[in-house]
Amino acid sequence: MLTEAEMDKFSLSIPCTGFGGALRIIVTPRVYYRALVNFTNSVVYGPELEDIFSPEFKEISEAVMDTLESEYNKIPGAQTVNVVLIKKMIREAGVDIFVELDVGSDYNNEEQIRRVLYNVVKEGTIASYVTSVQGFQFRQLGKVITLPSVDPIAVPGLYCTMPPAW
């Protein structure tokens, strides 16, 4: 439940007549995080992994998303995971395959969201792929506020004026 201060921060008032003065729409901000996870050499890298529409990319992406989303289901809020790209990185110890992914959340507890991902990586596997914390990165991309889509409805005696920014 949002506090009154949070409701003020994330609400939009639309002036109306016949409905007590205004409608108040509360919008929960969605925050996105970008992570870089080392999949060691457990992924056989080929040029097909550069194509997000290839069956090989989709296979890895779906396995990663399913595994991580099931872990994120254990904490409050709704988290979604999307694989952005799979890339080969040459490092001192050899060649590793890194998966870059986005985690979208309406829970907005950055430390807990980071910890869930880090702990899964630290355990050593995501789906059937071997992972390492070496090179792990996690950062907030930014906040995006998505207004809900609203279909107009006719309510007798209710007339609203949309703010000029719409």
Who wins on pLDDT, 116 or 95? Answer: 116
CB 110 within 8 Å of CB 33: yes
> Would you tell me how many other CB atoms lie within 10 Å of the CB of residue 105?
23
User: Above pLDDT 90, what percent of the chain?
Assistant: 57
Q: Is the pTM of this model over 0.75?
A: no
Q: Where are the domains of the chain?
A: 4-27+147-160, 37-144
DSSP letters for 22-55: EEEEE---EEEEEEEEE-TT-S---GGGG-TTSH
CB atoms closer than 10 angstroms to residue 104: 16
CATH topology of domain 37-144: Alpha-Beta Plaits (3.30.70)
Residue type, 65: M
The 10s digit of each residue's pLDDT in 96-144 is 999 999 999 987 789 999 999 999 999 999 999 999 999 999 999 855 5
> How much is the average pLDDT of 21-28?
60
Q: Please state the rounded mean pLDDT for residues 13-32.
A: 64
Residue 27 in this model has a pLDDT that exceeds 90:
no
Instruction: Say what the pLDDT of residue 1 is.
Output: 46
pLDDT band at 59 (very low <50, low <70, confident <90, very high): very high
